[in-house]
Amino acid sequence: MNISLILKNNYNVIKGKESDYMKKFKPTNKHEKIVITIRIDDYKVEQLDDIANKVNISRNELINQCLDFAIMNIEFKDDDNK
């Protein structure tokens, strides 16, 4: 299964309605992970912890799902707009 399909299934996105991605973020089950280190502002950690507790998942899993969501919804500027 390709990553795009996995992410679309994870967020219950209806095929052909890409604009719905931003409205349908729903934390889901875990997938296999690798360990990395990042630095995050302290206030963001507090916000992430609050959200993770509300949806009953770990901070790590929430961050992973936020990254998936961002990757699926990223918009790049056209080369003409440099």
Cβ atoms of 65 and 28 closer than 8 Å: yes
d(CA 12, CA 79): 32
**Is 29 inside a domain boundary?**
yes
Report whether 81 contacts 46 (CB < 8 A): no
The reported pLDDT for the residue numbered 78 is: 80
Q: Is residue 59 part of a domain?
A: yes
The predicted-structure confidence for 15-63, as pLDDT tens digits, reads as follows 444 445 456 667 666 667 788 999 999 999 999 999 999 999 999 999 9
pTM of the model: 0.57
Closest CA to 61 of 72, 44, 70, 48: 48
- For 82, the 3-state DSSP assignment is coil
Domain assignment present for 22: yes
For residue 80, being part of any structural domain is answered with: no
Give a yes or no: residue 21 inside a domain: yes
When mean pLDDT is compared across 3-7, 26-30, 77-81, the lowest value belongs to 3-7
Looking up tokens 């916000």 gives 47
Q: Which domain range does residue 10 map to?
A: 3-75
Q: How many domains does the chain have?
A: 1
- Better-scored residue on pLDDT, 68 or 82: 68
- What pLDDT was estimated at residue 72? 92
